[in-house]
Structure formats: C-alpha cells, structure tokens
Amino acid sequence: MDSPASVQPVSETLTIRRGERCRIYPYLAQPSGLRRIGGACRLLWNLALEQRRTFSRRGRYIGYHEQAAQLAELKESYPFFAEVPHHCLQQTLRDLDTAFQRFFKGQAGYPKPKRKRDGGDSFRFPDPAQFRIWVGDRGQAWLTLPKFGKRKDDLGEIRMRMHRPLLAGAKVKSVTISQEAEWWYASLAYETEVQAPARHMGEAAGGDMGVEVPLMLSTGESFDVPRPTEREMERLRRLEKSLARKKRGSRNKEKARRALARHHAKVRRRRRDSLRKIAATVAKNHGLIVLEDLNVRNMTASAKGTVEEPGTNVAQKAGLNRAILEIGWYTLYLFIKEAAEKHGGRVLLVPPQHTSQTCPNPACGHVSPDNRAVRSTFACVACGHEGHADHVAARNILARGLEVLHADTDESQSATAEVKPKKPKKSKKTAAGGLPAPACGDLGAAWSAKQEGRPARAGGSELAL
C-alpha cells in the first residue's frame, strides 16, 4: 500500500464544449452537391413550418416526432429528398422545433420561412460515425461526409484547412456545413476534458459599451472596433444600386448579389476578429468583469411606428441602430464571457439605468440628466466632479457589481448561520431501466448501414471522433 506521502492530489477536470470554424474548399461537382443538400433542407424547413402553421391547433399538436415520422412518405412522393442524407433532414426538423420552443417561452419571435436569396444555407451531421476528419503531416486536412468520400462512387472527400489544432483529447460531436457569400465553412462542435482553470485574481473592472467608444473600462483603458470607411460605404451604396437595377432572375442580378454578399462577409469577418482580440485582452487582465445588462434587440428596434401612430426622429434612430449593430455589443458580451470562463474569470451583469448620469463620488452620488450637458463630458451639478462620461459610467457599473457581490456574500453567510446541517440520508442505488433512444431515431439506422467505410490515407492521422 502506498504511503500518504506518495499519494498525488487529483486535479479537478471539466468537460467543456467548444466550436471551431474551418474553411473548406469544395471542387468540381462538390459545391453543387452541397447546394442541393442545403436547398432540400431549406425546402423541408418551409414545408414543416407551413404544416405547423396550418394544421397545428389546440388539441392537435404537431411536433418533431410527428413530422420526423413523415419523412419516409415525403421521400416516396418527392425522390430528390431521398438523395439528401437523412440526418440532415432530421436536424432541420429539430432546429424548427427548437425555434418554436423558444417562441413559446418568449425568447424569440415566430419562426420565419427561409429564402434562397437570403443565402446562408446550412445543414448538420450529428452522428460522429458518419463523418471523419483526417489531418496530414503538413497541416492539410480532409473531411469525409455522407455523399462526400463516404463511398467510392460519390463526390469524394472535401479539402479543409485546420487553422489551429483542436484541444488535446477533443471528440468531435457534430459537423455543420454553411456558406457565407462564396466561401464554405465547416463548424466542428467538440468536447474535451481540461483541467479547471485557476481562479483569476486580477483586479475587477467595469465596462461601458457605447457608440463613439465601443468599450471603456473603469481603469481608463478604451477599445475601438474598426468601422466601415467612407470608401467602403460608397462601395456598399454602389453595390446596392447595381443590385436594384438588375433584372429579376437574370445572371447579372445573381452576380451583383454575390458581390454584395462578399462585401458584407469581409466587414463581418473583420469585426468578429477585432471583438475576439478585445475579449481576450480584457479576460486575461481582469478576474471580474462587470457589464451592463443591455437589451440590444429592443434598443435597435425601428422607430418608424405605424400609419396610425407614425414615429418621430426615424432617420436619427436608424443611424443610431446602424452604429450599434456595426459594433456588435451582444457579440462582444458573448466573446468576453467565453474568454473569462477560459481564464478563470467571471462576468457579472448589472442594471444599466442612469449609469452615465450618476456622480461616481461616494460622498455625492447625485443623479441627474443635467450631469451630461455634453455627450462626452460628465460634470456633476451638485459637487462639481468632472470626467469623461464613458469612464464615469464604467466606474458606476463596477460599483454596482461590487454591491451585488457583497449582498450575495452577506445573504449566503446569514443563510449558512441560520440553517443547521442535516445528517445525510442513505439512498438506495437504483439502475435506470431501458436503453437510451438513438439521437436521430430509427430512420437514420437504415441509412447509415448503407454507407461504406474508406481506408485512411497514409502519412496522416485521424482526429478522435
């Protein structure tokens, strides 16, 4: 038996879920094959949505299981659905069911039909047994999917670029194929076990999100997000005018639409890259990050109103909405939250009311709109305290976050002191009966049994799936 001195402490591990978006390069007939699958999934979404909207009523609910059971009949009536991997069709129905559940909970609006001209078709492969990722010695990679390299007579493997290696021991759970303008991407959802990050002991910071200054910290540090330049705005106007002039259904209109999509995709990639870098910098330097709980959806709602009650200052509100969306407040919050979890930090949200109108002086605390006579300058009318308006708001946000933490700590301590510990009860161990149902139902079993394996390439390695 080992001595107590030889026993090593067991490090705590966490199972994390992450995603990696990789560029894929389909060639020859592969792009048209991907577009056929995306078009079939888009059509299935619209058919299922129309079925729910028309036939679902009180006492006769139509959900995922009812619609998934009709896929076999749909394939017999329309054979082109049989050429689409069955899992992709099932996942489309699951996504529609999730959209309805979010609508019923008040988290989103009513699901809308999908249109081809909107672009952005995507479909998902949820079964790790149906796909394979092979990485070569020189960084090149290939992706094998049903209809793409799974059998010898199909469209072949898809070339892919792994921009960065996945975490050690990562197990890919699903692959989502999507198109952005003329580029194709594969989003890998994987999970792996990592050591729990040590608690970040850096100083706390409050952050104020604005339009002129996208993010201002209570430490005085500010971050900027690249905005579209005048030249890019002029190019955007030219592309939109060119698209509007083209004849509907013509090839020239499709060319103009693709050019406009490429422009938007470029701006979107640049913005996301900047937000990622901001989030990483903030999370590395601060253990506690306090932000405002902003409802961006309501803040960017249109002000045009209705015919009976038209809105006021519609053009000014539209410009403000455009400026907020160009920065991406909610995306920045999500990136900061993800980066903070990675580095052992914490993100706390506080109410945003009057953060930029409250005097940060502890001896004053006066709240008045007159303190913001000028947009970028704060001048307290009670005590005369002056400073940058965004910096003052960030300091007030941090103060509110610390008050919330102290209040939670006091409540937990008082609850622990009042409640007496109870003796643990001995519970009988019971085994759950039955086998778990397959994630994609019985309809996917017959389809997967038809797929043939393919030998791995020499000189490379296959990712753990």
What positions carry a catalytic annotation?
A: 208, 292, 390
Interior angle at CA 455, CA 450 and CA 457, nearest 5 = 140
Contacts of 228 (CB under 8 A, 6+ apart): 236, 267, 326
**Which is nearest to 119 in space by CA: 176, 183, 175, 174?**
183
Q: How deeply is 205 buried, as exposed, middle or buried, from its count of CB atoms within 10 A (0-12, 13-18, 19+)? A: buried
Q: How far apart are CA 400 and CA 263, in angstroms?
A: 41
Q: Beta partners for 184?
A: 24, 179
